[in-house]
Structure 1
């Protein structure tokens, strides 16, 4: 090989190496944006939505459906409730929006359209990100039997108690059936089902938490202070 060809070869190799390094840096920046910056912006937006809902709820009830105690005819993508989970912190509060599309889950927790409303007979099923976009269900695996989950609406506080969890394939949609995991069975209980991707940073499976309604409190009477107390242990 001539010296000119050798120099050309070294130049090509150097250029290729530079390109790989640049591509790696771009990839790292993209991952950083996905895992950090989307959390920053989503948390800010979700906090604003919670604050807005709290003000609306405090102003008094508007038109509601007696069957499910959520605002009548909730438009797809609109926030209508707040979920509070003491196990995940005293300040944990996330908005619940109608629908579970990708865009909606960027803005908070999504309600599976067609499932029961908060406090209603059947299965109030919701989904949330475990990573990125505020990751509202990042620590869903920390929930323990007996932990309380509060769904706050314009008219009521619905207090659910965690019963159990399962890990399933994404195709196992029977977890959001009116009676969880029992398709075709007529519901008599009042369930809350929470779903999120599993394991963290993967969508290979779904982590599912089932909770059962303990009690509903009229908003006008307020929520007992001990309901939102931090649980002991774990």
Structure 2
């Protein structure tokens, strides 16, 4: 009887410890999700404000020289900046009138904490090819949280130091992570020579999972000098 009592008490203690550990784990996960969203969201907003202030005052780097065919007028950025550097701002009216996140070079863990990441070796904004981006749907500011809400014809706008690029959503898909053809110069047509300027957005799918990728393709509609004011799609939003 005494042995059974000891075993019962030990089992009860272990059970309580497991419940406590489970509760603490859930609290930690919830705190981590909330904190990374808060801290990264604030940092990204500060980066956007800094870029816009620098561009407004004219304190911006000189445009790189063209190195490949581009739409007319020529984009101001055709050479990628160093990894981790913010070089553009992404605006998506469908995500809200105040939506604006920095675009940084690279798609590593650290880069995606700072905003939307630009896939290295894909085209720059407005350049013929595929300007491909990755972003989180949860955590770290979750810039692509609403990516699945985009509809055909929605505007996706990229602002740089001297220009605005307005793209329009054309298609979307769910693919396996290994299907890298979605960021090919001509989306889903690896090896084909590009003649148009595309923008591709990628994010993990479904929510809270990395099992698949949600992909949106948008086609360049117009290029506008920043000195001419906000593009109509952004002003309307």
TM-score bracket for the superposition, by shorter chain length: over 0.9
User: Does the CA-based 8 Å contact 1:70-1:154 persist in structure 2?
Assistant: no
Deviation at 1:32, TM superposition (A): 0.2
Deviation at 1:226, TM superposition (A): 4.5
Deviation at 1:29, TM superposition (A): 1.5
CA separation of 1:73 and 1:112: change in aligned 2, threshold 3 A: closer
Aligned-residue Cα RMSD (Å) equals: 1.5
Which whole-Å CA distance do the structure 2 matches of 1:47 and 1:114 have between them? 26
CA separation of 1:190 and 1:72: change in aligned 2, threshold 3 A: closer
Deviation at 1:205, TM superposition (A): 0.6
* Residue of structure 2 in register with 1:123 after alignment: 130
- Does structure 1 residue 33 correspond to structure 2 residue 31? yes
Deviation at 1:219, TM superposition (A): 1.0
TM-score (norm 1): 0.93
- Does structure 1 residue 193 correspond to structure 2 residue 192? no
User: Does the CA-based 8 Å contact 2:107-2:119 persist in structure 1?
Assistant: yes
* Residue of structure 2 in register with 1:101 after alignment: 108
- Does structure 1 residue 136 correspond to structure 2 residue 114? no
- Does structure 1 residue 47 correspond to structure 2 residue 54? no
Q: Mind listing any 5+ residue stretches in structure 1 that lack a counterpart?
A: none
Greater mean deviation of Cα atoms: 184-193 or 32-41: 32-41
- Does structure 1 residue 223 correspond to structure 2 residue 230? yes
* Residue of structure 2 in register with 1:159 after alignment: 166
Q: Mind listing any 5+ residue stretches in structure 2 that lack a counterpart?
A: 67-74
TM-score (norm 2): 0.92
Deviation at 1:196, TM superposition (A): 0.4
Which whole-Å CA distance do the structure 2 matches of 1:59 and 1:70 have between them? 19
Greater mean deviation of Cα atoms: 63-72 or 36-45: 63-72
* Residue of structure 2 in register with 1:211 after alignment: 218
Secondary structure of 2:219 counterpart = strand
CA separation of 1:46 and 1:155: change in aligned 2, threshold 3 A: same
- Cα deviation per residue 1:120-161 (whole Å; 9 max; x = unaligned)? 010000000011111100110110111001100001000001
Which whole-Å CA distance do the structure 2 matches of 1:28 and 1:104 have between them? 27
Q: Matched residue pairs, number?
A: 228
Aligned ranges 1:79-90 → 2 under 5 Å: 79-90=86-97
- Cα deviation per residue 1:171-215 (whole Å; 9 max; x = unaligned)? 000000000000111111000000001111111111100000000
